[in-house]
Structures are given as structure tokens and as C-alpha cells.
Chains A and B, each alone.
Chain A
Amino acid sequence: MQQLIKVFFSPMVFALGFLWPLSTQLVLETGLVANGWAWVVGVLVVLPFALMAQIRGSWIWIK
């Protein structure tokens, strides 16, 4: 249970649950990328930050 809670509140889940669709919808708003590709661009933008937050404990490198 404790492990499940840790996963739910982890930066990676926040990135997948919120930041990925957010960045995708922002990309779509620009009108430069088609729907399917917007999800790919969205995840490419968010993934480095998510990995940094998950591994280093900071979304923006500084600690």
C-alpha cells in the first residue's frame, strides 16, 4: 500500500497524468502539429523534466 501511495504521488505519475496532456494541448493550440504527433511532441517535451524530477528530485535541476 505504502509503495502504491509513493508511486501515485511521484513526479513521473504527475508528468504522465497532467503535464503530458498539458504540453500536448499546448502544442495543439499552436496549430503547428497534427493531433497524433502532438502527443509525441508532448511526451518528448515532458519526459526529460519528469526523469530529472524522478531521479534528481528537482524539475528544474536546482536543489
Chain B
Amino acid sequence: MDQIAQSANLAVEGTAEQLDVLERKIAGKYMGIVPWGAVIWGIGNCLVFVSLFPLVLFDVLPVWLAFPVATLNVMLSYLPSHEAQHNIIAGRGKPLRWLNELVGHVSTIPLVYPYRVLRATHMEHHAHCNHPELDPDFDVHARSSVDYFFNFLRNVQPGSARNGAYRRCLERLGQGHLMLDALIYEGVYLLVMFTMAWCGYAIEAALLWWLPKLIGQYHLLYYLSWAPHHPGEAQGRYQDTRAFKSRLGNIISAGMQYHIIHHLYPRIPLSLTPAAYRELKPILLRRGCDLGGL
């Protein structure tokens, strides 16, 4: 609480240097903490998702009940990997590094997104946020939520330019070989879908993976890419990301109301961004950040 009062005072009276020091000091308090919740979440969520297939195929669980569970699994699958992409669970050379990489690889299986591709392209998103050519997530931007819906429909079409965005980004980085991961993930996904469909389980395949994956992608891109970077025009440390108040609350919006904290300090675990935001808010206001009434 003292820190909040101090930051509020400094935000009004302090020099730019004092503000920098205080900002880093506050952020530092929230870094270097292993997010065990994200570890359990990432691996547990994937295990639940995978277990739905035998449960449905052996008639233990009705498919109408498995569908919302699978959808929830897909929607929840990205964020633990996101923690791993930023080395929040354990950095290079640390004893728990294997766990960081395990969570990164395993948690996005339901979304059919390969970890190494996500990590490389996501770092580019951070480095060039809202840059029309260099931000690989730039084409998610849309003028409104309604436009986002139509933009999403266009982006998931086979001929969409969005399909090649990550490949182009990786080739620019000299890491085009990582696209092999994407081919393997997508290939295995298609083989599972085709096999289930031709064995008489097409409806089950659609409700366990195909539709949940589409819904999960829509949710993920809306809350992680579109909403916190809207309108996607400004660049710069304090301008490229905003805070916003979600009508559906912080959990359904995947904790992204506080995404501005993540872009300023990517090593702060997701679960601690609300507390960090509250402490840093006066400084962010002084910086002229868009806090969206949060």
C-alpha cells in the first residue's frame, strides 16, 4: 500500500528518472516467481482434453457434454505456453528449464500450435508491436468487435494472407526450419480427424476438436491480440498496448485486461499482472498510457 501511495506521489511530482526507478522497482517485486498454477494448468488441461477422446469413443461420456469441456480446454491451452515462451517458469540454464519447455510444448496441443513457432513469432510481436510489416499478429487488427468477427472469418480461409504470416516472420528471422514443427502438428491433427471421420466418428471429431479449435482461436486472438492492442495504430513502449475493462470479466477475457503490464514487463506471471497493474497505475497514467477506465 505504501508503494502505491509513493508511486501516486511520484507520478505527480517525481522526475522522469525517479519514475523509471520506481517503475522498475515495483515490477521487480513481481518477477522471478515460479507460476506453479500455470504449470499444473498447462499439463492438466491438456490431459483432460486428450482423455475426452477415449471417454467419448467408449461411450463413457456423451459427446454433447464433452463438447463444452473440449472448447474450454482449447480456450485455456495457450496461456501456460505463453508463460513458458517468456521463460517465466524457468530461464535458460535453470534447474527447472525442462519444466518450462515441457509446459510450453504440451499445453498448446489442443490448439494445434507448435511451441517453438509461437515463441519465435511472439518475440517478434513484442519487439515490433503494431508494426504493419514486422508484427506477425498485425492482421488481427480490426476497427470494432463486429469487424473483428468478419476479419477472423477472412483470416481462417485457406487463401488468407494470415496463413503465411508466421512463416514469413520465421523466414525473415532465418528460422524457417521451425515450420517443420507446424507441419507435424497440423499433419497429426488432420490424420486424427480423417481417421475418426472415416471410422464413423466424424461428429465426435467435429465436436471434440474441429469446432473447439475454431472457437478457441477466435477467443484467443480476440483477447490476446485484438482487444489489448486496439486500435493497433500506435507504436512504442507505453502506447502499443492498453488496459481495458471487459464486460465479461477478467477470467473470461483470459486476464488480458492487464495485458499492458505484460508488454511492459513480460517476465511478470499472468496471475500477478492485476496486482502489478494496481501498483503501477499512477505511473502509467503519468506516462499517458490508455488504461481504458480500468
Contact = CB atoms under 8 A, between A and B. Distances in A.
A57 interface: yes
A5 B183 contact: yes
B194 A25 contact: no
B203 A29 contact: yes
B183 to A, nearest CB: 7
Given A18-B205, A22-B206, A25-B203, A8 B159 contact: no
A18 B153 contact: no
Contacts of B186: 9
Contacts of B205: 18, 22
B158 A62 contact: no
Interface string A11-22: 101100110111
A59 B203 contact: no
B159 to A, nearest CB: 2
Nearest to A55: B159
B278 interface: no
Contacts of A8: 187, 190
A60 B159 CA distance: 11
A63 B157 contact: yes
B190 A9 contact: yes
A60 B156 CA distance: 10
B197 A21 contact: yes
A56 B193 contact: no
B22 to A, nearest CB: 50
A57 B203 contact: no
B181 to A, nearest CB: 14
B203 A18 contact: no
Interface in A1-52: 5, 8-11, 13-14, 17-18, 20-22, 24-26, 29
B153 A14 contact: no
Interface string B150-191: 100110011110000000000000000000000100110010
Contact of B202 (A18, A53, A62): A18
Contact of B190 (A17, A29, A59): A17
B203 A22 contact: yes
B30 interface: no
A22 B202 contact: yes
A57 B160 contact: yes
A15 B118 CA distance: 27
Q: B153, B158, B206, B210: which has the most chain A beta carbons within 10 Å?
A: B158
A25 to B, nearest CB: 5
Contacts of B183: 5, 9
A62 B154 contact: yes
B159 A57 contact: yes
B154 A14 contact: no
Nearest to A26: B203
26 contacts: A5-B183, A8-B190, A9-B187, A9-B190, A11-B158, A13-B190, A17-B190, A17-B193, A18-B194, A18-B197, A21-B197, A21-B198, A22-B202, A22-B203, A24-B202, A26-B202, A29-B203, A56-B159, A58-B154, A58-B157, A58-B160, A59-B158, A60-B153, A62-B150, A63-B157, A63-B159
The 8 closest A-B pairs by CB, nearest first: A57-B159, A17-B194, A22-B202, A21-B197, A58-B157, A21-B202, A25-B202, A18-B197
